Amino acid sequence: MAKPTIAITMGDPAGIGPEISLLSAVDSSVTEQVNLLIVGDLKRLKQAADVLHQKGRLSEVPQFNAIEDVKEARFHKGTVDVVDLNNVPENLPWGKIDAIAGKSAFEFVEAAVKLANRKEIDAIATAPIHKEAWKLAGVPYPGHTEALAALSGAQSSAMMLVNKGLRVVHVTTHVSLKKAIDMATKERVLQRILLTNSSLKQFGIQSPKLAVAGINPHAGEAGLFGDEESLEIQPALEEAKQQSVDVSGPYPPDSIYFRAASGEFDAVIAQYHDQGHIAIKMLGFDTGINVTLGLPILRTSVDHGTAFDIAGKGIARERSMIEAIEVAKQFLQG
């Protein structure tokens, strides 16, 4: 079987993205299994390489191969292929929110999506962006998921977090808790159930078994602690079952993630951001990754931020990026 080709987007150039992208691209355990290239800025990657070499994280500074076309990539050991957009100022400071950095990070994503749409790459693994930098740059999307959906023409999308066998899909993400409760409607919960079911089948799970978390303590305790479960969530489950989806719940949020992590379910539908994220991150901060469902292209990502406090210091850990690449490879190979 031919190696899949995966493009890493460098993320916010003021964050740890350049470092973890580079460390992953030179990891032989990764490059033996996939062809990797970085969509980013060559100057910034060279700066990251110098820092990493000084810190002993790289035994030597790698050779870089700047390319405009994927056909020009060498995919040789010791060489890092870079689609160089040349859009980061040489004196950009590390660890600071910057509109130029936000603009550059968005352009990396745009370029990678174009490669994927043209079938020149098989998947995208994204390094972290900073949402405030995107906003300062005038990027019309709050984050990766929304941008990728728009750029690829997806009708609907959702974020699935994966860590050590636990898969979590969120009904809502970056909204207030008050708004998340209002958004937990039958229609939205049903859409997430159906999208998760079809996506897991696409990724090789023939008969997905899904669980849905409640939004209230004890999943409402028969209405004692809230009625969202009976009014919105349960009706969504019943309709999904009528469409032959193996789904059950709503379950108390404080127990369902343990059951799923133990293998009882293939995925959990979480009702809001922290409900799902806490469960995923408790299993390991460096091993959690993000998969965007509903796209015509495969995208995985690290499940951590730009880490401005350590950016440019050569101490960032690349484990989550390597996991993102590994999960993409697994999905591509079924």
Task: Give the number of other Cβ atoms within 10 Å of residue 68's Cβ.
Answer: 8
Distance between CA atoms of 257 and 197, rounded to whole angstroms?
A: 18
Nearest to 294 by CA among 129, 118, 172, 169: 169
Residues 214 and 136 in one domain: no
Give 111's pLDDT tier (boundaries 50, 70, 90): very high
Does a structural domain hold residue 12?
yes
Mean pLDDT (whole number) for 100-109: 98
Reported confidence tier of residue 333, pLDDT bands at 50, 70, 90: confident
238 and 270 belong to one structural domain: yes
- Asked whether residue 11 is assigned to any structural domain, the reply reads yes
Task: Please name which of 313, 301, 326, 319 lies closest in space to residue 10, comparing C-alpha atoms.
Answer: 301
> Does pLDDT of 1 surpass 70?
no
Distances (CA, A) of 164 to 4, 134, 253, 272, 301: 23, 31, 19, 21, 15
Residues 221 and 321 placed together within one structural domain of the fold: no
Shared domain check, 144 and 262? no
Separation between Cα atoms, residue 54 and residue 277, nearest integer Å: 35
Q: Is residue 160 assigned to a domain?
A: no
What is the spatial distance between Cα 109 and Cα 98, in angstroms, rounded to a whole number?
Answer: 17
Beta bridge partners of 292: 159
Nearest to 24 by CA among 65, 57, 70: 57
Claim to verify: residue 229 and residue 187 sit in the same structural domain: yes
Q: Are 72 and 111 part of one and the same domain?
A: yes
Specify whether 1 is located in the same domain as 150.
Answer: yes
Phi, psi of 260 (to 5 degrees): -70, -40
Are residues 148 and 89 part of one domain? yes
- 292 lies in some domain: no
- Tell me if 128 is assigned to some domain: yes
What is the end-to-end Cα distance of the chain in Å, rounded? Answer: 12
Write the CB contacts of 147 (distance below 8 Å, at least 6 apart in sequence). Answer: 106, 109, 139, 141
Buried b (16+ CB within 10 A) or exposed e, 256-289: bbeebbeeebbbbbbbbbebbbebbbebeebbbb
What is the domain range of residue 271?
165-283
Rounded to 10°, the helix 144-152/99-117 angle is 40
| DSSP-assigned letters across all residues of 244-285 | T-EEEEEEPHHHHHHHHHTTS-SEEEESSHHHHHHHHHHT-T
- Mean pLDDT across 148-173: 92
For residue 230, what is the domain's CATH number?
3.40.718.10
Amino acid sitting at position 149: A
Could you give the C-alpha distances from 30 to 41, 119, 271, 327, in angstroms and in order? 21, 21, 34, 11
Indicate if 118 and 46 belong to the same structural domain: yes
Give the pLDDT confidence of 192-242 residue by residue, as tens digits. 999 999 999 988 899 999 999 999 999 988 888 999 999 999 999 999 999
Residue 105: which pLDDT band, with cuts at 50, 70 and 90? very high
Given a cut of 90, whether residue 322 has pLDDT beyond it is yes
Alpha carbon distance 81, 45 (integer Å):
11
Q: Are residues 6 and 130 in the same domain?
A: yes
pLDDT tens track for 242-257: 999 999 999 999 999 9
**Within a domain: residue 234?**
yes
Inform me whether the pLDDT recorded for 156 exceeds 70: yes
Average per-residue pLDDT for the chain: 95
> pLDDT tens-digit profile of 51-100?
999 999 999 999 999 999 999 999 998 899 999 999 999 999 999 999 99
141 with 250, same domain: the answer is no
Q: Which of 8, 304, 303, 331 is nearest to 168 (CA)?
A: 303
Q: Specify the DSSP class assigned to residue 292.
A: E
The number of distinct structural domains making up the chain is 2
**Quick one: 13 and 149 in the same domain?**
yes
Q: What is the pTM of this model?
A: 0.88
246 occurs within a structural domain: yes
CA distances from 149 to 89, 154, 317 (A): 29, 5, 28
| Domain presence at residue 132 | yes
